[in-house]
Amino acid sequence: MIDFLFIALLQSVAGEPAQPVEQAPATTEQPAEQQQAAPAEEPPERTRCRTERLVGSRMGQRVCTTEAQDRALREDARQSTDRAQRYRTVAPGS
């Protein structure tokens, strides 16, 4: 009871009504113009996680990458392998 009186006193000092005012529920609908004008959002890229073995350790390390990052890593590895095979040198005396 004292809490209610205290809240009513604070509201009267602040110039607010003592009775709670019901607020209209927020609508989630947008006007048709805004729905059509909004660009289609791309779905988020899937994340793939895997456990990679570490040299000198029995424990693996969990690595999570997106599909785009995975493609970029594979392409970089392919290019590095191609470069190493293309420009390999023969050791003297071999």
**How long a stretch of residues is the chain?**
94
For the chain, the structural domain boundaries read 49-85
First-to-last C-alpha distance (Å) of the chain: 97
Q: What is the pTM of this model?
A: 0.44
> Which is higher by pLDDT, 91 or 81?
81
Confidence band of 79 (pLDDT split at 50, 70, 90) = very high
Confidence band of 27 (pLDDT split at 50, 70, 90):
low
Which pLDDT belongs to residue 7? Answer: 65
**Residue 81: phi, psi to the nearest 5?**
-65, -45
